[in-house]
Structures are given as C-alpha cells and as structure tokens.
Chain A
Amino acid sequence: MDYRLSLIFTLPEIILSVSGMLLLLVAAWGGLKSARLISILAVVALFGSSAYALEFLTNPSFEFGGDAFYGLYRMDGFGSFAKLLIYFAAIVSLIIAPRFFKDVGSYRPEYPVLILFATVGMGMMVSAVDMMTLYIGLELNSLSAYVLASIIRNDVRSSEAGLKYFVLGSLASGMLLFGISLVYGFAGSTNFSVIADTLTGQLATGPLIGVVLVLAGLAFKISAVPFHMWTPDVYEGAPTPVTAFFASAPKVAAIALTVRVIIDAFGGQTSTWQQIIVFVALASIVLGAVAAIGQQNIKRLLAYSSINNVGFLLIGLAAGTAQGISAMLFYLVIYLAMTLGSFICVMEMRDSEGKPLESLSSLAGLSQTRPGLAAAFAIFMFSLAGIPPLFGFWGKFLVFDAAVAAGMLPLAVIGIAASVIGAFYYIKVVKIIYFDDPAGQIAKTGHKTENGLIGLMALAVSPLGYLTIPLLAPVTATAAQALF
C-alpha cells in the first residue's frame, strides 16, 4: 500500500480539514469581524476540493479508483460525483448565509467552519468502504449539524431544533452502531467487501437484525419514513440557510452512503434489503405527500417534500441496478437545484424590515408584487411535483425507468400514482402565489445574490435543463458503474 497514493486520493478531505482547522484558529483570534473573510476562504477551499474531485471523476487515469489507508477509504467515480454535489451545496449554503444572519442578529465565524467540518464528514461518508470510516464520517457530519441547527443560540426555535436533532440523531447513531457491531460479529470484519463475501445465502437471525438496524440508522439520516419524524421540526426550527444546507448536502451524502452500504456490503443479500427499501420508498412517497397537505409553514412543507423526494430516490435503489443508481445520481443533481432554489426563495420571504416570514399565507398574491420571484417559486414547485416540461420530471422519469427495467412494475405504478397526491400540495403553493389576493407582506425588493442564485437554479430546472442530459447522463452512468 503506497502511502503517497492514499494521501493523493484523500486530498479533497485533507484540503477541507486543514483549512477548517486553520480557519477555526482565525475565528478564535479574529472574532466576529473575521466571519466574512472566513466565509470567503471556506468557499475557496471548497472550490479547491471540488477541483480534485472533478479531476478524480474525469481523468481517465483514475478511472478504476483506488483504495486508501488499507481499505478504509475508496476513491472512485461514485464518491467523487457525490462529493461534487456536496461541495456545490456547501458553497451555496455559504454564499447565502451572511445576509440572512445579519438580518436576525450577527453572522458568526463558526458557521463557515462548521460547514467545512460537516463537509469533510460527508466526504468521508461517501468514500467509506469500511464501517468504521462510515461511522466516523457520519458522526463528524452529524455533530457539526447539531451545532449548526442551534447556531442562533438566543432563538428558542433554533435551540430546540438543535436539541431535538441531537437526541434523535444520537438514537439513530446508536441503532446504526448496534447494527454495525452485530454485522461485525457475524461477518468478522467491518470492511464492506469482506462483509459481502461472508454474509451469503439465507441470513441467520443475528446478522439479519444487524442489517435491519444498519438500514434503520441510515434511513434516519436520509429522513425516510418511518424514521423521518425529526425532519419537519428541525427544518422548521433551524435558520433557513442551515435548513437549505440540511436539505441538500447531507441528504446527498446520506443517500450516497446508503447506496454504497447496500450495494457494496449487502450486495449479496438483495432479497433482504430490497423489500425494506421498497417499503421505505413507498411509505416516504405517500407520507411525504399526505402529511404535507395540512402544513402552514413553508419550511415544514419543504421538509415533507424532501421526505417525498427521498422516496422517489429510493425507487432507483430498490431496482438495485447500475441504471437505478445512475438514475439516483441524476435525480440528486436535479433535486439539489430544486431544493436549494426553493429554500433561497424562502429566504427571500422577508418583510420590509428584513424579518423572515415563513407562513404560506404570507406568500399570497406574490405574483403581483414580485412576479420574478413568484415565477421561480412556481417553477420549483411544479418541478418538485415532477410535472413536465420542468426538469424535475426527468429525475422521476429515470428512477421509474430503472424500476421498470428491473421488472418492478407494481412498485413503479404505485409510486407514480402516489406522486399525484404530492402534486396536490405543490399546486396549492402555486395557487397561493398566483390565484390569491396579494397579502403584501413580503418586501418589494430582493437581494442581488439571492436573486442571482434563484435565477440560476430556476434556469437549471427549466426545460433548458434537458439539454444537459447528454452531458450528465454518461457521467452518472460511469459514477454508478464504479459500484458494480
């Protein structure tokens, strides 16, 4: 094992952790004033890591990936692709934050530092091929996330969100850890490929419980039903940029991690996990759709929407084929654009004094006071509902295509029929924005950076997005192929 290669393969994480620690020092001495500078430097570091991830993804000499640190960590197309998405989401979360925090108090330098640490953790998650790396990555991300959720410490809701997240997250980590130890006990190793080689044939009760507990722990992290309960509360309570971050980057990381665990470690146990995933997928789609109908808070609504989307993503995983995984990766790209876009729209919902608004009713008649913002919001909503010609449709199209190709017709039919339930609350938001009389609560002018980002995301999910298919499809296919 060449140590130099190990270091090269982990360069994205090394860059981020080193800059994270340095910036932490800057923050300690620089105080509040240094927040903006740290933000900028953090973005630079993320760009640096992205460059390496991109290099690993596209350079043919890294085509087959490679193991680092004696099989604890794996650099491959799949991980690199997921990392690019994570870094992108992290960068956006950093760009949108200062203005928001300034409105509600002050922008603290811990925010960018924590984002960096969380991102390191996520990078580890998507590259882990060993239960130990997986757990360390997951916890690094989670611990940073708990603090991020309660970063406005004098706000009750924010603190409550952080506490809730911490308690429930610890419970999930406990379950995961218990599952890992059971699997380790029966397989004799924490390494994914060894687990895959050892756990073959009909599983005994012990390892079966282990697998189920691992999946339960992961389901919590991706907020899939029935482990979704924390999501609406945390999404509602956390500051909006943090919510945008939670709904994007950790989601991608957790989904990618789940995919890798299931395909790499439990790949031989298809019949065991497939029924679990099918159930979780359908339950998430239906519950995410039904529970959202009564919501009055836009952030809660988007939380249920993210649960709903996870359900659709898992349909690709249920197929268990390279095509399914590739569909998931493509879906994640579109999901990022839609989710970040909608959350930035939520951030634009502030009254003339800059106070954030979150109730659906404050959106009433937005199309007459802020036509541009309203149009973007409507685009994101229709896109999340998967109505063509918006690009959100394409993600659903791909996962259902994969499910049909894998012969899972009942799953596809039930899943797509349930998507109509979800359409109801998305068009309800459009109704409020377009059909209702103006409430006039939302300030007339927006913020330039936010408007720019919203425009960018709206463009990405507009029908123009279809033009990116020839570009992205081969990349997602290669990335997915890396797992098989």
Chain B
Amino acid sequence: MNQLDFPILSLMMGLPMLAAIICLFVGAHAARLLALGTTLVLFALGVVLWANYEIGGPQWQYVERVELFGNFAWALGIDGISMMLIMLTVFLMPICIGASWESIQKRVGEYMAAFLFMEVLMIGVFAAQDIFLFYILFEAGLIPMYLIIGIWGGANRIYASYKFFLYTLLGSVVMLIAMLWMVQDAGTSDIPTLLNYDFAPEAQTWLWLAFFASFAVKMPMWPVHTWLPDAHVQAPTAGSVILAGVLLKMGGYGFLRFSLPMFPEASEQFIWLIFGLSMVAVVYTSLVALVQQDMKKLIAYSSVAHMAIVTLGLFAFNRQGIEGAIIVMLSHGLVSGALFLCVGVIYDRLHTREIDRYGGLSINMPKYALLFMLFTMASIGLPGTSGFVGEFLSLVGLYKVNSWVTLVATTGIILGAGYMLYLYRRVAFGELVHEDVKAMPDLSAREMALLAPIAAAVMWMGVYPESFMAPIRDDVGTLVARIDRAAPEGDAHLKMGQAKAVPTTLETEAGHGESH
C-alpha cells in the first residue's frame, strides 16, 4: 500500500464525488455547507498527503493500482510535482466555494455538485498513473466547466461555453489517437513505464504534435488562446478562479509529464515552435492586456503571458528552467485566482467589470486596496512574492539556452508591470468620482477569509520557496536526467578562461594581487 495504509488518493476522489451527488438532492444552504465541509476535509487530507510525503523517497508515492477496467487500470500515484498541483487544487477549492457563497443564488445544489465533480477530476488528472485514465479525467472536465460557464455565467455565456467546449475538445481528440498508438507500441498504458520507454524518433515527431495540440489549447498558448478571455469573462468568479488556477495548469502538467519525458528528441526538435509561440505570446498578449477595458479580460490575457513563461522554462531542458516553470505554475495559480477574486469582490458590489467605472478605491476600501496591491505585485513578480521566484528561475534556465529568447521574455516582465500597475492605478488610485463607487463597503469578513490565506501562501512562496521546491527537486532531477540526451546546446558558447602562467616570483605574485 503506501505510507498511510489507506488509499488516500482514491478517498480524495471518492469523497467529493459522493458529496457532489448528495448536493444534487439537498437544499441551497445545505449544499453550500456540505460543499465547504467537503473541500475543507479534502484540504486537510491534502495536508496529510504533504506531511507524509517522503522527500527523497521513491519517485511514485501513495501508489494504488486496481485492474478494474480490462483495457486500463485504476492506477493512482503521485510524485512531488503532482502533489504540489494537488495541493494547489485542494487549497483553492474551499476558497472557490466561499467565493460563491452569496453571489450564486440560483440552482445552488447543481452548482456545488459541478464544483465538487470538478475537484474529483482535477485531483484525478494529477494523480492518474494510467494514460487512459488520465485522458478520461482530463476530458471529463469539459462537462462541469461547460455547465458552470453556461448556467451561471455572464450575459454572453452561451457563446463562451460553446467556444470553450469545442476548442478544448478539438485540441484533445487527436491526443487520444496518439495515446492509442503509444500504448500499442509500448504494450502498456502504465505512465511510469511509458516515461522510460523510448519511442522511435520519427514517431515521436507525430506523437509530440498530437499532444501539443491538446496541451497548447489547454495551456493556452498563442494563437489558440482565444477561448480563454471569453471563458474567463463569462464564467462566474469561482469558475474563473478554478479555470485560471488549476485547469490551465493541466496543459503545463501535460508538457511536463508527457511531451518532455516521453518524446525528448521531438521536444528538442520543436523547441523553435515553443520558443517562437511563447515569445509572441509574452509580448503580444501583454500588449493586448494593456488596452483592455474589462478587468477579467485583462487578467485573462496576463495569464496567457505568464503561461508562456512556463512553456519557455519547461523547454529550457535544465533544472532551473523546469523548477522555475513549476513554481510559476503554482504561483500563477494562487495569484491569478486571487486577482479574479479581487475582481469578483468589486463586481459583486457594482456588477460591472469595466475599469473606468471604478477609481479611488484605496480611499473607501483600504483593506481591499492593500490585498489587491499585494497580488498585483506578485503578478508582476516583485521579489518577496511568489511570482519573482518562478519567473527568475525560468528565465535563468532559459538564459542558459538562448539569450535572445530570454531577452524577449524578460520584456514580458516589464510589460507585465505596465499593465498591472496601470490597472491598479485606474482602480485603486485617483479620486472617488462615482457616487455608487463611494458607497461600496470594504472587504467583509468572508472576503477577507478568502483572500488572506492566498496572500499568506504568496508571501510564503516568495520568502521561503524551499518548502515548495524540496518535494519537486528529485522529480525534476529525474526528468532532467531523462531529457538530457536531447538537451539543446546553449547559444552562449562560454569559453573557459585561460589561467595566466603560474607566477613563481614574489614580484609577479604581488603584481597579480594588485590587479584584483
């Protein structure tokens, strides 16, 4: 079994599933309480998971395997990377439920059921050790998200939900064909075995492209990102939080878990594609974010830019790049989630997301302004916040590979500072001109309780990232060792310095000393 002597991962999937079904049959308030209780229990279980995770222990821990389905198995197990992403999920879920406490008034039971079902799938995606189980859980997320956007979304929700559903489905179906081929070639659907199976390089090219189609849409990478702003803008606040916080991470996780270790040669072969698209994304979407009038859209575009940093880091093929990318994923999950909550807070009061309708909020909502500033800074990547750690590491890793790409990617940080500070200035600073804005009360206790934990986590990750890096260190090491054979040569062509002729006389030694 595992270090806990009970199948904790199955429990973490079974519990919310059960609660989701019950939610469908109970009243609004009971559903809220049940959902909150369940997600909190899951968070506690997540803490147990983390506390008992053996750093430096076996690569796959909490392994479960039941040959339940004939062609594939109910196989779960996590490494450090999966665990951190599961932690992110269980951390954000109670906050999502809390964020919907008052803003969702119709069909509460179904809403809570959809979120709990979503949680089952997200944990399952990160824990799946069977490639088909992964696919099923990965794709299944479309159904609850489609309903969440379509039922509880904004005015243009139908269009957004269709676009989200069809876009992501089209991206993923070809991946299934690739998986079928892989499993037939390797003779197993077990992910740990596949991770060490060497596919023929020419096959890798096609397989990589098939996986890329799926993960690039999910990530999302430019130019297939256009579903994201629509989905974000129309989704209810909690839906945006989950979408930005966790669902986008599935794309990065997919690159990390499948594309890189399973097809190292093809990954190297397509570096130009990843770098090219990511560079465009960093600059282009940042510029687009700069001119947005809708707060959610602005943050959505900033997500695309941040995710481009993730892909750049991942495809740097070295430890710093990959660790940095993972930290950016975690950090972005927290920060963008928090930013969407911040938007939700004022949206609940004024029912508009138009930036110009606000202004001067730091006067009448000081607590809000403070927290909003913290998350703005974290999004920019200010040292001391989580954003800095990840972006710095990614860029360091990337610099080892390509200085020019790093140069372009770094402009994204500057542009990021531009659009975030511009947003903050327009929302929080200036005069309180609108009467209705003046009447807005500061954060309620509930809203404080939602934002404060994220703020704490963001600071923790910024000040002492070791807590988050320790569990992933060995797994990144394994990955780097696996892809090392295909790692690209850096463009810096560093030359080892020539030591001067060893001086023997006292005079020259003194002269050498002077030169320092």
Contacts and interface: CB of A to CB of B under 8 A. Distances in A.
Contacts of A367: 107, 110
Interface stretch (B78-86, B131-139, B260-268, B275-283): B131-139
Nearest to A372: B24
Interface in A396-422: 397, 400-401, 404-405, 409, 412-413, 416-417, 419-420
A427 interface: yes
A380 B478 CA distance: 43
Contacts of A416: 173-174, 176-177
Contacts of B177: 400, 404, 409, 412-413, 416
Contacts of B69: 466-467, 469-470
Contacts of B173: 416-417, 419-420
A182 B137 CA distance: 52
A409 B181 contact: yes
A483 B173 CA distance: 31
A388 interface: yes
Contacts of B71: 401, 469, 473
A165 interface: no
Contacts, number: 91
Interface stretch (B3-11, B155-163, B380-388, B494-502): B155-163
Nearest to A428: B162
Contacts of B139: 387-389, 393
Given A389-B140, A409-B181, A469-B69, A435 B151 contact: yes
A419 B172 CA distance: 12
Interface in B57-96: 68-71
Contacts of A419: 173
B30 interface: no
A387 B181 contact: no
A419 B68 CA distance: 27
Given A397-B176, A423-B169, A404 B136 contact: no
Contacts of A393: 136, 139
Interface stretch (B141-149, B320-328, B364-372, B452-460): B141-149
A20 B120 CA distance: 51
B155 to A, nearest CB: 12
A363 to B, nearest CB: 15
Contacts of B150: 431, 434-435
Contacts of A409: 177, 181
- Interface of chain A, main secondary structure: helix
A180 to B, nearest CB: 37
A375 B68 CA distance: 26
A419 B143 CA distance: 16
A100 interface: no
A64 interface: no
Contacts of A413: 174, 177
B164 to A, nearest CB: 10
A212 B161 CA distance: 44
Nearest to B206: A409
B440 interface: no
B168 to A, nearest CB: 10
Contact of A473 (B70, B110, B132, B166): B70
Nearest to B25: A371
A470 B170 CA distance: 30
A255 B70 CA distance: 25
B184 interface: yes
A405 B71 CA distance: 14
Most buried by B among A367, A389, A430, A434: A389
Given A382-B143, A434-B150, A423 B135 contact: no
A69 interface: no
A368 B71 CA distance: 38
A404 B180 contact: yes
Contacts of B50: none
B165 interface: yes
Given A400-B177, A417-B170, A417-B173, A427 B146 contact: yes
A424 B163 CA distance: 10
B147 A434 contact: yes
Contacts of B151: 434-435
Given A397-B176, A435-B151, A469-B71, A420 B135 contact: no
A431 B161 contact: yes
A346 B147 CA distance: 22
B398 to A, nearest CB: 33
A467 B68 CA distance: 7
A435 B174 contact: no
Interface string B399-422: 000000000000000000000000
A389 B136 contact: yes
A110 to B, nearest CB: 43
Contacts of A427: 146, 162, 165-166
A473 B132 CA distance: 17
Nearest to B181: A404
Contact of B169 (A387, A404, A435, A470): A387
Contacts of A375: 24
Contact of A401 (B68, B143, B170, B180): B180
20 contacts: A371-B24, A387-B140, A389-B140, A400-B176, A401-B71, A401-B180, A404-B181, A404-B184, A405-B184, A409-B177, A409-B181, A412-B180, A417-B170, A419-B173, A423-B166, A423-B169, A435-B158, A467-B68, A469-B71, A470-B68
The 3 A-B residue pairs with the shortest CB-CB distance, nearest first, are A388-B136, A469-B70, A389-B140
Given A397-B132, A469-B70, 12 more contacts: A368-B107, A387-B169, A388-B137, A404-B180, A409-B181, A417-B170, A417-B173, A417-B174, A427-B162, A435-B151, A469-B69, A470-B69
